[in-house]
Chains A and B, each alone.
Chain A
């Protein structure tokens, strides 16, 4: 009886402490992986600047395309899902997450054919980002123009 109670108490304590530990671990992993992705981004910009003598603006476009390509390729090869499960927001918040969501949706619906499968489902997950991005950008843009006083 006493042992049972002690066990129950113990279980309660374990239950209490378990989630916070994984939470802080998740947060740390997301910070480190996300930071490394940002580091790679800035590193690629500087590399392309030196390599091809292009301006920083052009170089950043190349960098974005490189990251998108790598994320799409790794998703297609199958091991990016495991990385995302491990790093969570560390890989979902950078542009790699956008590419990953498009690629995995397109792969998943491939069997339904090129039009109703790949074509209409590619933006199944990434579409919300574009919709809310455009709506909010337009709304804030109008506000900015109203404040700035150059509406027409």
Chain B
């Protein structure tokens, strides 16, 4: 329990640290970096490395944007077991659907309620 909390702090902090170092030392914008990190997450899960990290670290590995890429390919590969390439397309959003739907719903209704600041 406590060990997972500590590992979550260290892992999520380390990912953010790497991103910040890239942001400060190159001309890349946050948009570039989040896209790159999603690709890295998908790449790490191609050979099930990210699964091991999630198993060990827990929530700290699910919070960074790398886990978005991981969940995309993970859902795709789950469906692809029986369906092949078409399963890859069908199952792509299986695991991330909740996050994307929630983000759309919350931002829509909150936009209706609140006014833009500054």
Contacts and interface: CB of A to CB of B under 8 A. Distances in A.
| A and B interact physically | yes
Nearest to B72: A137
Contact of B8 (A41, A103, A141): A41
B19 interface: yes
Interface string A58-101: 00110111011100110111100100000011101111011100
Contacts of A73: 106, 110
A86 to B, nearest CB: 12
A19 B104 CA distance: 38
A131 to B, nearest CB: 8
Nearest to B25: A23
A106 B111 contact: yes
Interface residues of B, number: 72
- Interface size class for chain A? 35 or more
Contacts of B64: 34, 38, 93-95
A52 interface: no
Given A99-B106, A125-B31, A141-B88, A34 B12 contact: yes
Interface of B: 1, 4-5, 8-17, 19-21, 23-25, 30-31, 33-35, 37-39, 41-43, 45-47, 57-60, 62-65, 67-69, 72-73, 76-77, 80-81, 84-85, 88-89, 92, 98-100, 102-104, 106-108, 110-111, 113-118
Interface of A: 23, 26-27, 29-39, 41-46, 60-61, 63-65, 67-69, 72-73, 75-78, 81, 88-90, 92-95, 97-99, 102-103, 106-108, 110-111, 118, 122, 125-126, 128-130, 132-134, 136-138, 140-145, 150-152
